[in-house]
Amino acid sequence: MIPYQPIAAPDAPLARRNPVAKVAAALVVSVALIATVDPVAPAVAIGFELAVVPLFGIRYSALARRAWPLLLSALGILCTLVLFAAERTGSLLWQAGPVAVTTGVLGTALGMALRVIAVALPGVLVFATTDPTDLTDALVQNVKAPPRFAIGALAAFRLVPLLALEWRMLSLARRARGIDAGRNPLTRLRLFGSTAFALLVGAIRRGTRLATAMDARGFDSGSPRTSARRQRFTAADAALVAGAAALAGGALAVSVALGTFRPLVG
C-alpha cells in the first residue's frame, strides 16, 4: 500500500483545524458559488482562496502540482464553450471563419471556467492538509457517521494511490510480453480499455476482501466502538465555517453590487 500524507505544515493555523470543519467550509463555499454563472463572484472567491493558502501551510508551488488537472479542466471548458456555444449574444470581439467570439459567449465561458476552479479549489486545500485517518475519526465522532462507512471510505482512500502503481505494473507486464501499441492510436485505445478492465477487476476483488475482513472484525455487529484519538470541534473550527460563509456571501455581494450577478436558475 502507498501511504497518503498531507503536504501542509501540520502546525499551520488552518491545517490543524478539525477535518469536519474544513470539509464543511469547503462545502459552504462550493454550494454558494454554484448559484451564479457570472465570472465576478468566482473570481473574487479564487482571490480569497489563494490569499489564505499560506494559512494552510502549503506552498504555492506544491498547490500548483496538486491542482494542475483542475486548471487543465477549466481551460478545456473555456475553449469548448468559446468555440461551440450555441448562443452568440453581445458584441463581436473576434471572428475566424465560422467561429465568432462575442462578449456574451466569453463572459459565460469565463464564468464557467472560474466557477470550476473556485468550487474545486477548497476541496484541494482540504484534502492536501488533512490526514485520512483524522478525517475518519472526525466523521465518526463529530458527525456520528457509521463506523463501517467511515472506515470503508478510509480504506478506499488509502488504496487510491495503489491504482496508479498497478496500472504501471500492468503496462510493463504487457510490454514484457511483446504487447505494445507503438504509435498506433487504435491499438492504444484497445489496450487502454483492456488495461482499465483488468484494473477494475482487481479493484473489485480487493474491495471484496476488505469488506470480508471488516465484517470479520465486527464492523457489522452494531456494537458501539471506541476511538483511539479524540477529534474535538472547537470555537475556532466554528469560526472557520463562519469565515467560509462570509467569504461566499462577500463574493456574491460583490457580484450583485457590480450588476453582474446572474443566478443559475431564473
Q: Measure the CA–CA gap between 263 and 36, rounded to whole angstroms.
A: 4
Q: What is the pLDDT of residues 187-241, one digit of tens each?
A: 888 888 888 898 899 888 888 888 888 788 777 666 777 777 888 899 999 999 9
pLDDT at 122: 92
H/E stretch holding 117: helix 103-128
> pLDDT-derived band of residue 266, with 50, 70 and 90 as boundaries?
low
CA 139 to chain centre: 18
What share of the chain has pLDDT > 70, as a percent? 92
Residue 105: exposure state from Cβ atoms within 10 A (0-12, 13-18, ≥19): buried
Q: Is the dihedral of CA 65, 60, 30, 257 positive or negative?
A: negative
- The number of residues making up the chain comes to 266
- Residues 47-56 have a mean pLDDT of 92
pLDDT at 15: 87
CB atoms within 10 A of CB 173: 12
- Nine-digit cell string for 13: 493555523
Q: Is the dihedral of CA 124, 126, 132, 136 positive or negative?
A: negative
- Residues 1-15 have a mean pLDDT of 68
pLDDT at 105: 78
φ, ψ of residue 95 to 5 degrees: the values are -145, 135
pLDDT at 222: 67
Please report the DSSP string for 49-70 in residue order.
HHHTGGGGT--HHHHHHHHHHH
Mean pLDDT for all residues in the chain:
84
Residue 2 pLDDT > 50, yes or no?
no
pLDDT at 97: 66
Query: Is 92 strand, coil or helix?
Result: strand
pTM score: 0.78
pLDDT at 3: 46
Residue 119 pLDDT > 80, yes or no?
yes
Q: What is the pLDDT of residues 83-97, one digit of tens each?
A: 776 666 767 667 776
Q: Measure the CA–CA gap between 14 and 21, rounded to whole angstroms.
A: 10
pLDDT at 6: 62
- Nine-digit cell string for 11: 502546525
Q: Which of 6, 5, 22, 26 is nearest to 14 (CA)?
A: 22
- Residues 246-255 have a mean pLDDT of 92
